[in-house]
Homo-oligomer: A and B are copies of this chain.
Amino acid sequence: MPKKLYSDIYDTLKQEINKQVYQPRNTLPGEEELASRFDVTRNTVRRALKELQSDGLVYAVKGRGVVVLEPIRDDRVVFQADNTEGFEALRNFPQNKFIQRLSTDVLTFEEVEVDEELEKLTSFNTGDVAYFVERLRLFDGKALAVDNSYFRKSLLGDMTREDAEKSIYEYIRDNGLFKIAAERSTTTVESATKRDLQVLDVGDMNCVGALTKFVYTDTGRLFEHTQTRYVPNHFSMVDFKSF
């Protein structure tokens, strides 16, 4: 007795595509046919198909059908940092083979008041109090990334360095503070700063990747601003778009 029909259909179809029951470049059965197979309406089937499409597995063409896309090879990716909760999320990701080898050092933990310059960076308001947390991300003991985060104190209450050393998102959940709703992020490549060279194992590289992330609570409040700076050659971000 499943709760979400469309997500069951999604799972089933996804498996069948992976098992090549439906082969690349062929079309799936029509929506009407799928509807009667799963004993739901067309709308519900469409919902499942839309998910498959946003995963990049299929593509719907009016008048022709839903086409299965050819798969691509994907060996060289070290791991996909797909802009979620950051490194904590990677650790909980079941497919991730690297979990054991990841660790975190909190280098800095302090309260700061938002001035004009910081307002420009974080989009918080001048006068707000924020926690500044600098966390070093280690992989096999090598410093591969550093997170510079600002969190609005008014939303977090009194947090300690120890909380930050575990997981801030865990702290939020455990204290039932709010839910994370959404995030906006931008990716750039930048010159390494003095601080980067100090704390990161960049080797002889003189630039870093930067992932700047704004995180919202479910009441629409900007809650976190984090810039992750990471050394080259170890990370990759994936994305899919259909037109």
Listed in ascending order, the chain A residues whose CB lies under 8 Å from chain B are 24-26, 53, 56, 58-59, 61, 64, 67-73, 75, 77, 83-84, 120, 123, 179-191, 204-209, 214, 216, 218-222, 230-233, 235-243
Contact A236–B182 (Cβ < 8 Å): no
Tell me, in angstroms, the Cα distance from A216 to B180 when the chains sit together: 34
Given the known interface contacts A187-B239, A233-B189, the answer about A221 and B73 at a Cβ–Cβ threshold of 8 Å is no
**Apart from A70-B220, A83-B241, A239-B239: 16 A-B pairs, beta carbons within 8 A:** A64-B218, A72-B123, A72-B184, A75-B120, A182-B243, A183-B240, A184-B240, A186-B236, A187-B239, A188-B233, A189-B189, A189-B209, A190-B233, A191-B205, A191-B233, A206-B206
Contact A219–B189 (Cβ < 8 Å): no
Question: Which residues from B are CB-within-8-Å of A222?
Answer: 69-70, 72
List the number of copies, as a whole number. 2
Contact A218–B67 (Cβ < 8 Å): yes
Contact B216–A189 (Cβ < 8 Å): no
Q: Which 7 A-B pairs have the closest CB atoms?
A: A182-B242, A67-B220, A189-B209, A189-B232, A59-B181, A72-B123, A187-B237
Given the known interface contacts A83-B239, A83-B241, A235-B189, the answer about A70 and B182 at a Cβ–Cβ threshold of 8 Å is no
Minimum CB–CB distance from A189 to chain B (whole Å) comes to 4
Contact B208–A206 (Cβ < 8 Å): no
A55 nearest in chain B by CB position: B184
A71 nearest in chain B by CB position: B123
Question: Which residues from B are CB-within-8-Å of A235?
Answer: 188-189
Contact of A67 among B25, B70, B181, B233 (CB under 8 A): B181
